[in-house]
Structure 1
């Protein structure tokens, strides 16, 4: 089986679970071998190249290690997304002329969030218009529950 992108992973796992001996081949090595390989007969072409010794199987971790690596990659991606969102928060605060980054080193920490929550709640309340179906008191109550701050000082 040729490894191109992520498309091969599920098929590889299914074949492996059904006790097939699956050899994973790097697509770059298969492409560098001279000769024609139409897409229809690609598996036969790869099998022929492998049996002649022109291709070698790629290393593949066992299922437990592969699962752990997938979790670690996902965690790394989520940490990157969180960092981007924190930067967006800092940018909006700066645009609101709130220089919070000069007071606290981490705006998502306990102190930073105690400062940010009332700012957000007050900004939401200032957007209220009489055409909104909910009363300002209903919105204030929802913000107290959702954001977790006391809105009575508005």
Structure 2
């Protein structure tokens, strides 16, 4: 059960048999948060680009035969 597991872990911790968890410094945590947020934004952008491309394909507008990247410069 959870109670017995908690008691066992507390006993191991008191005896020094369990190492403490690593908590990175605040600047590293902030960098990780920004990296995760950027990855999420890129994912959303790609999903929207794919959605627009599909809508154009369904409307028989075949831009990919003329352009290699329809969202490029």
* TM-score relative to the length of structure 1: 0.40
What are structure 2's unaligned runs of at least 5 residues?
none
1:37 aligns with 2:15: no
In the alignment, the residues of structure 2 paired with residue 71 and residue 45 of structure 1 have an alpha-carbon distance, to the nearest angstrom, of: 38
Distance between the aligned counterparts of 1:108 and 1:47, measured in 2? Answer: 57
2:39 aligns with one of 67, 76, 85: 76
Bigger share in helix: 2
For these two proteins, the number of residue pairs brought into alignment is 73
Aligned-residue CA RMSD (Å)? 2.4
Q: How far does the alpha carbon of each residue in 1:82-132 deviate from its partner, in whole angstroms, 9 at most, with x for none?
A: 11111111111100000012222222234xxxxxxxxxxxxxxxxxxxxxx
TM-score (ref. length: structure 2): 0.76
- Which has the greater radius of gyration? 1
